[in-house]
Amino acid sequence: MTAEHIHQLVEEGRGFFNAGHTLDVAWRLRALERLETVLRRDEELLYKALQQDLGKSAYEASMSEIGLVLSELHLARRKLKQWAKPTFVWPALSQLPGSARIYKEPYGLVLIMSPWNYPVQLTLIPLIAAVAAGNCALVKPSAYAPATSAAIAGIIAEAFDTRHVAVVEGGREENQALLEERFDYIFFTGSTTVGKRVMEKAARHLTPVTLELGGKSPVIVDDTADIARAAKRIAFGKLMNLGQTCIAPDYVLVMPKVKAQLVEALKRELSVMVPGRAYMRAHVGRIVNQRHYERIKGLIEGQTVLYGGQADDDTRQMDVTLLDEPSWDSPVMQEEIFGPVLPILTVPSVEEAIQMVRARPKPLALYLFTENRETEARVLGEVSFGGGCVNDTLLHISSHRMPFGGVGFSGMGRYHGRAGFDAFTNSKGVLRKGKWPDLRLRYHPYKKPDGWLPDGLFRH
């Protein structure tokens, strides 16, 4: 798509928003209803596209993508009238007599840029929030998942007026052309490196952004943990989408007393979950492209492999590979792995594990396995991260009742459920003032010396 065509879509979207079509809540609800109708009718197309792009089984695609999207749609349709109502707040003493309310207004024309690893949910969940909040949107799916991008483009074209929501397919040239345009809000999901460039472009127009990024999400396993259950849930988190998950367990910090037990339990669980090459080809998925496949294989070179290490060049599939005590200076510990490789490092204490995590950029997720409530309170209180689980992995993302997002290098802003609506909404405080009394003391000329004022008059 040319830069001229993209500019035309931007102008059409802004004109449609300025005409006021999206301000009516009932109109937004009808738009969401159309999206759900088309989604349910074309659901099979999405399953086929995800299998074609990433080798995702229908079971995994339903659990990690389409089911989450339909859940968000159901919630938005059920709660939108409540979310969009003006909210009453108590006025300050200086505002009396009067009433204070917070009005919810859409930003305008928003840009949603999504990645390839979960191309359905990471495109449509932000879009649902943007539409519910009353915005117009341009949606840019990833070119690395072309079949899913095409399927999403078809669904959106049928569900929405193109002036309301339009899809821009393509690669870097289209991304660059979009970022040259002025938007009222940008929602980006992807790498920290690209997120920085998005923020730089947005800064020229002072455009607010939500950045959903990534990072190295640690797992801490102390010596009170249920090791068998910890191994099963860590393996689940690493196998999902073959490790190509922004919140996947990236490395494990384990106490010396239970390290050998954890390694053996992980080997056992991985062999049970993936019982052979035929099962892997049918159900586990594959690395998205050759470049990423070669990069992940390179992370294993020169490392001590405890389990796995086998790769299938024909299918771009790899065993989940456990690495023993890699150096913190090695590439596998310096970059986000984003694949089926799991370094396991020994730490002498929970205190040292906390210090190791805090010494690095704030992660998108953290997973703690412990039965000690004091340890739990300490880790949650002392370590900053986007979100996470105690005694599990990944599942914190699955609830629309909990805001999801990063902090620091792992991102900014929150979405899912009500938090998504709020992300795409400007909260506008308005005071409606009564006529009387109209206190003379607030107006010039002042009658008393500077600094004199009845205590608390303008304080909240």
- 184 and 271, same domain (yes or no): no
Catalytic entry in 174, 212, 269, 336? 212
At 369, the pLDDT band (50, 70, 90 cuts) reads very high
Domain with 226, as residue range(s), is: 218-405
The CA distance from 178 to 10, in Å, is 9
Q: What is the CATH number of the domain that holds 299?
A: 3.40.309.10
Return the residue matching tokens 């009658």.
447
**DSSP 3-state assignment of 424?**
coil
Of 252, 211, 260, 214, nearest in space to 234 by CA? 252
In terms of C-beta density within 10 A (0-12 exposed, 13-18 middle, 19 or more buried), how is residue 177 classed? buried
At 440, the pLDDT band (50, 70, 90 cuts) reads confident
212 part of the active site: yes
- 160 and 223, same domain (yes or no): no
The verdict on residue 66 lying in a domain is yes
Return the residue matching tokens 């099963």.
232
* Overall domain count for the chain: 2
The CA distance from 51 to 169, in Å, is 19
- 153 and 262, same domain (yes or no): no
The verdict on residue 21 lying in a domain is yes
DSSP code of residue 136: E
Which tokens hold the place of 147?
């079949």
CB 144 within 8 A of CB 244: no
The verdict on residue 134 lying in a domain is yes
In terms of C-beta density within 10 A (0-12 exposed, 13-18 middle, 19 or more buried), how is residue 78 classed? exposed
The CA distance from 69 to 285, in Å, is 20
User: In this predicted model, what pLDDT tens digit does every residue of 135-155 receive, in sequence order?
Assistant: 999 999 999 999 999 999 999
Catalytic entry in 72, 136, 181, 246? 246
Query: What pLDDT score was predicted for residue 207?
Result: 98
Q: What is the CATH number of the domain that holds 116?
A: 3.40.605.10
**Average pLDDT value for residue range 88-104:** 90
The verdict on residue 444 lying in a domain is no
Q: Does residue 448 have a pLDDT over 80?
A: no
The verdict on residue 48 lying in a domain is yes
The verdict on residue 304 lying in a domain is yes
Query: What pLDDT score was predicted for residue 451?
Result: 57
CB 132 within 8 A of CB 422: no
- 199 and 296, same domain (yes or no): no
Strand residue runs (E) in 353-458: 365-369, 387-390, 411-412, 425-433
The CA distance from 353 to 363, in Å, is 14
The verdict on residue 43 lying in a domain is yes
Query: What pLDDT score was predicted for residue 459?
Result: 54
One-character DSSP codes across 67-111:
HHHHHHHHHHHHHHHHHHS-EEEPPPGGG-SEEEEEEEEE-SEEE
- 145 and 183, same domain (yes or no): yes
The counts of H helices and E strands in the chain are 17, 18
- 355 and 419, same domain (yes or no): no
- 223 and 204, same domain (yes or no): no
With pLDDT > 70 as the criterion, what percentage of the chain qualifies?
A: 97
The verdict on residue 271 lying in a domain is yes
The CA distance from 89 to 43, in Å, is 43
Query: What pLDDT score was predicted for residue 442?
Result: 80
Return the residue matching tokens 């915005």.
135
- 205 and 226, same domain (yes or no): no
- 353 and 421, same domain (yes or no): no
The CA distance from 340 to 235, in Å, is 10
User: In this predicted model, what pLDDT tens digit does every residue of 166-215 receive, in sequence order?
Assistant: 999 999 999 999 999 999 999 999 999 999 999 999 999 999 999 999 99
